[in-house]
Amino acid sequence: MTKLFGTDGIRGKANVYPMTAEVALRIGAAVGRYFSASREGVHRVVIGKDTRLSGYMFENALTAGLTSSGMNVLLLGPVPTPAVGLLTRSMRADLGVMISASHNPATDNGIKFFGPDGFKLSDAVEAEIEKMIADGVEMNPADKIGRAKRIDDGRFRYVERVKSSFPRQMRLDGLKVVVDCANGAAHRVAPETLWELGAEVVEIGVAPNGFNINEMCGSTHPERAAAAVLSHAADVGICLDGDADRVILIDETGKVGDGDQFMALMASRWAAEERLAKNALVATVMSNLGLERFLQGEGVTLERTAVGDRYVVERMRDGGFNLGGEQSGHIVMTDHATTGDGLMAGLQFLAEMVRSGKKSSELLHNFDPVPQLLKNVRFEAGQTPLENMHVKQAIAQAEADLAGQGRLLIRKSGTEPLVRVMAEHEDAGLMARAVDSVVDAVSDAVRI
């Protein structure tokens, strides 16, 4: 059996291995057995999903597997990924499951797991579960099968939790906010939360049909929201992805601000208020050198991790940090949540607008980013282009060319069959030549 778990659970094209109903049933049985064996008594699991058509199939298959292992299943329906982390802990569940492929197209889907503490599972636990799936799981006797029922108030619980992270006595009255929900899991909760806090809300991406999640909208396609900000003369735009665990912000001029700019703002603000634990921010190797230089000027340390919000959270927990995230818009604030929460991060930005009285454009440009270029090369299953001698030589030469004022990062995606080639350098021409030389070498290797 090929490896199932990537950097964020299991992901792939729906109805193609490993994202099939059969595999999902086996996964449910194995993960249910793993967590029900950890303690005595009644065992329960909460399951959320985004708005993909295949979510129905995986919800039913996982429910069958989990109940076969004796788990009682609580079905939340469409809710953001951070809601599953929150409700796993608040409802005293042994396990939380989110069915989503995040920002991927509607034809993909995925399965993410949360432990009883509301945090995503570690690599070690995932490896144990994967072994159980491969070995097979002994079924419970007929009188030990679990039950399943739908929970109607899950989204309302989440809305109240998100609102509680917003400063008390503060309101959003007078602010016009465009919110793009990517036709995904937050299509109800995000507009509801913003409206209840007093904002005038312009909603887009709130009509999911099973096929249009992330389709030319949301955090990966902020152009539509940027145009709406301008046409409605809005103060700010908030773009979420399909499962609402990431956010991209748009200022009143239509300019897009990424996760690095948001983290720069919050880290400097929290440091000034002595709220930033260990006076450090945790971000991944993808975050811009400009962010690192800005933080140095603020006296804040930047801790870098591998790509993936799960690795950011693991470093935060290990080091006792409370703010971290990714350039792509995953923002983790462990004072409030156990994983990236796009809506909660958006509210923190709005709170800073209200507190400071500044326009969003003043808050979203904290540093000038070092020129950065990212290109992807797709490869087929079984190919190992990064082990090719010519690719290694091209990487070594590119690193030598960029040494001193920039950096080169080569990595395989944890969610798609892609080699990602990223470089940063003050000289954009030199940077482009370095990236292209590696991309060409990888492309040649995958054609062999």
Q: What CATH code is carried by the domain that includes residue 437?
A: 3.30.310.50
pLDDT at residue 2, rounded to an integer: 62
Tell which residue, 336, 343, 407, has the closest CA to residue 371.
407
Strands in 265-393 per DSSP E = 280-284, 301-305, 323-325, 331-333, 372-378
Residues 220, 338 within the same domain: yes
**Domain membership flag for residue 396:** yes
**End position of a domain, from candidates 323, 345, 369:** 369
Are residues 335 and 240 part of one domain?
A: yes
Domain span including residue 435: 372-447
Last residue in a domain, options 345, 369, 393: 369
For residues 260 and 361, state if they share a domain.
Answer: yes
**Among the options 102, 219, 268, 360, which is catalytic?**
102
Residue 1 lies in a domain: no
Q: Which amino acid is at 267?
A: A
- Residue 387 CB burial class (10 angstroms; 0-12, 13-18, ≥19): exposed
The answer to whether residue 4 sits within a structural domain is no
pLDDT at 447: 84
Residue 24 sits in a domain of what CATH number?
3.40.120.10
Q: How confident is the model at residue 405, as a pLDDT?
A: 83
Give pLDDT, residue 366: 95
Taking the chain, what is the end-to-end CA distance rounded to the nearest angstrom? Answer: 26
Is residue 343 situated within a structural domain?
yes
Looking at the fold, whether 184 and 70 belong to one and the same domain comes out as no
- If asked whether residues 120 and 165 sit together in one domain, one would say no
Q: Is residue 135 part of a domain?
A: yes
Whether residue 201 contacts residue 195, with contact meaning beta carbons closer than 8 Å, is answered with yes
In terms of domains, do 170 and 273 share one? yes
| Cα dist from 412 to 262, 388, 415, whole Å | 26, 14, 9
Q: Are strands 44-49 and 72-78 parallel, antiparallel or unpaired?
A: parallel
Using CB atoms within 10 Å of the CB of residue 445, give its burial: 0 to 12 exposed, 13 to 18 middle, 19+ buried. buried
**Are 378 and 365 part of one and the same domain?**
no
Is residue 3 situated within a structural domain?
no
**Phi and psi (nearest 5°) for 158?**
-65, -45
Note whether residue 90 is domain-resident: yes
SS3 145: coil
Q: Is 102 considered catalytic here? A: yes
For residue 12, what pLDDT is reported? 93
What is the number of structural domains in the chain? 3
Domain assignment of residue 379, yes or no = yes
pLDDT in tens, the chain (448 residues): 567 888 788 999 999 999 999 999 999 999 999 998 766 678 999 999 999 999 999 999 999 999 999 999 999 999 999 999 999 999 999 999 999 999 999 999 999 999 999 999 988 999 999 999 988 888 889 999 999 999 999 999 999 999 999 999 999 999 999 999 999 999 999 999 999 999 999 999 999 999 999 999 999 999 999 999 999 999 999 999 999 999 999 999 999 999 999 999 999 999 999 999 999 999 999 999 999 999 999 999 999 999 889 899 999 999 999 999 999 999 999 999 999 999 999 999 999 999 999 999 999 999 999 999 999 999 988 888 999 999 999 999 999 999 878 899 999 887 778 999 999 999 999 999 999 999 999 999 998 6
Strand-by-strand arrangement of the 200-204 sheet: 200-204, 176-180, 236-240, 247-250, 256-257
Is residue 114 located within the same domain as residue 161?
Answer: no
Same domain, 229 and 272: yes
423, 407 contact by CB (below 8 A): yes
Query: Looking at residue 1, what is its pLDDT?
Result: 53
Please count the residues of the chain. 448
Distance (Å, whole) CA 35 – CA 27:
12
Domain boundary among 369, 387, 403: 369
